[in-house]
Amino acid sequence: MGQTLLQIEDLHTQFFTSRGVVRAVDGVSLHIDAGETLGVVGESGCGKTITALSVLRLVPEPGKITSGRILFRGRDVTKMDDEEIRDFRGSDVAMIFQDPMTSLNPVTKVGFQIEEAMTAHNRFSASLAKTRVVELLKRVRVPAAPCRPRSSS
């Protein structure tokens, strides 16, 4: 097995509502090694999205992670301060939400949006980001990949 990338141990995420407590995530545990891919399936409302939002510490109010550990490369995400969590979200993890209108701007070229995300946290220079975007778009068979990283203007 490879190095542990993500480990979730007995995660509980709850929503405190006027009608009582909703246990959205109730004891989830999983382990993903570097290089592995995990698909999470289940019926609507079973906690898939809230589990992912918990990993990113983006659970909306009135929700709260009430117990468990989320370890990313050995660091406990639940104990990160605001600066650490911003850096974590900007450089280590990301989420593409189910609603495409909240993920990508339909009037801006997709490559430009990916490039912008790569350079926003100074992880890539502009020229390296453009090269990497073209590689990634070719890998997923986007037509005319070399034309996609250009500015939207």
pLDDT by residue (tens digit) across 21-75?
999 999 999 999 998 988 889 998 899 999 999 999 999 999 999 999 999 999 9
Q: Which domain holds residue 38?
A: 4-95
* Nearest to 61, CA basis, from 123, 114, 15, 124: 15
E-only strand ranges, the chain: 4-17, 20-33, 63-72, 75-76
**pTM for the predicted model, two decimal places:** 0.69
Residue 15 · residue 62 · CB < 8 Å: yes
pLDDT per residue as tens digits for the range 89-130: 877 887 777 676 667 777 888 888 888 888 876 678 888 988
Tally of domains in the chain? 2
Amino acid identity of residue 132, one-letter, is R
- Domain membership of residue 151 (yes or no) is no
Do 90 and 106 have their domain in common?
no
Q: Would the pLDDT of 152 be above 60?
A: no
